[in-house]
Amino acid sequence: METATFGAGCFWGVEAAFRAVAGVKNTSVGYLGGTLENPTYHDVCGGQTGHAEVVQVEFDPAQVSYADLLEVFWQTHNPTTLNRQGADFGSQYRSAIFFHSAEQEAIARQSKAAQTPRGLFKRPVVTEITPASTFYPAEEYHQQYLEKRGRTSCHV
């Protein structure tokens, strides 16, 4: 098993997208990239901790590649809006790839560089690519939030 971690705005819909991918064995939503130890949702939403809302993905690389997960990442949010996804704004909603190995970093950087030539986005991609730090799981009620409510996306 390998681990991948992505920030792409509100973690509820992003988690649901990754859970639908064959080869993804587990997901957990939480907070990463900030300075406060053991932050709560309230702390992170205040925008002062530096954390991003993220989805940590456990996957079987024999079934799905990291590059394939990056494709899901690019398709689930707008990577051209700095610290904003839809109505959600603040650094906690930033577009971010948190790599767990040098190989993941190289693949992520190559994937990001390929987005502009593909022409999918009219503006520059602002996704940050940084080393993964301590992951703090979000409160239980956030885990698989949409599934618990019989929904597949954040949009009604």
Active site residues: 10
Q: Does residue 130 contact residue 98 with C-beta atoms inside 8 Å?
A: yes
3-state secondary structure of 26: strand
Distance CA 141, CA 62 (A): 31
131-135 long-range contacts, CB within 8 A, separation 24+: 131/98, 131/99, 131/105, 132/3, 132/5, 132/32, 132/98, 132/99, 132/100, 133/32, 133/33, 133/98, 134/32, 134/37, 135/5, 135/28, 135/30, 135/31, 135/32, 135/54, 135/56
